[in-house]
Amino acid sequence: MNQDALRELLGFYRDLGVKELYAPQSLPAPPLPGKTTIAAMPKEPPPLLPVLPSLAPEGDTMERIREDIGDCTRCRLHQGRNKIVFGSGNEKSPLVFVGEGPGADEDAQGLPFVGRAGQLLTQMIEGTAGKEGIPIKRSDVYICNVVKCRPPENRTPEPDEMQTCGQFLFRQLLVIQPMAICALGSTAAKALLGTRDGVMKLRGKWHRWREIPVMVTYHPSYLLRPYNQNAKREAWEDLKKVLHQVYD
Ligand code: URA
């Protein structure tokens, strides 16, 4: 990576609110799933990714992240929240779903995706897995959000709120080290991939957050709108790819 690219990368982390960088990790880049054929293999070995600064303290744990979040007042979202929604599910899961932020039901219960969108997400995970012969339930995966407090009126999180809270999402992902991440909607895609591209452009293909493959798909709330039924079919396709990538 040249200096300009490195400067851009560090700027990206700074924009995400990352204030501390920990001991470096060397990250070789494995091939993206389903992409590499022998014929398409480059003659030269793929370059190693740069030595990326770690986003987490050494020996980080979910307990430590929870403790560091504490009774957070780092951004304005704390003012209207009832409960911090840290995440739920299997903390050792090979698959993590990342949503945008808690809604009213999640804020009341302190758990992610427990409202209508959450019910659809559960159906999507368990229905697709069942049809594909993959024996997993929702409780086998890990589910969390970019921001951990409910934005007022369920508005989209502001960039500074995503920056402030994003550091905790990144630490969760680094602790879990899943085999794949499924980004639900454009806020999660933006936080993980640093792109302004929309879901329609990003979905269905593999991307990467650090070395971890990322599949972007539609947010379940979007799929609940009756005029987005075509997107539902596409989301099931995306989910199939993710599940086979992780569980085959
Ligand atoms: N929408 C999200 O993005 N996350 C939740 O937890 C619930 C709804």
Domains annotated on the chain, with CATH: 3-50 (no CATH), 62-247 (3.40.470.10)
pLDDT classification of 25: cutoffs 50, 70, 90: very low
Q: Which of 7-11, 111-115, 123-127, 139-143 has the lowest mean pLDDT?
A: 7-11
pLDDT score for 6: 64
Determine the distance separating the centroid of ligand 1 and the alpha carbon of 57, expressed in angstroms.
27
Q: Do residues 222 and 185 make contact, with C-beta atoms less than 8 angstroms apart?
A: yes
Q: Report the percent of the chain where pLDDT is more than 70.
A: 80
Determine the distance separating the centroid of ligand 1 and the alpha carbon of 155, expressed in angstroms.
11
- CA atoms of 144 and 37, how far apart (whole Å): 34
- CA atoms of 160 and 76, how far apart (whole Å): 10
Say whether pLDDT at 3 is over 80: no
Q: What is the number of the ligand 1 atom nearest to the C-alpha of 112?
A: 6
More confident residue, 139 or 33: 139
Q: What is the pTM of this model?
A: 0.84
Rg of the chain in Å (alpha carbons):
18
Backbone angles phi, psi at 223, to 5 degrees: -75, -15
Determine the distance separating the centroid of ligand 1 and the alpha carbon of 60, expressed in angstroms.
25
Q: What is the mean pLDDT of residues 184-194?
A: 98
Backbone angles phi, psi at 103, to 5 degrees: -100, -165
101 lines ligand 1 (CB under 6 A): yes
Q: What is the number of the ligand 1 atom nearest to the C-alpha of 85?
A: 6
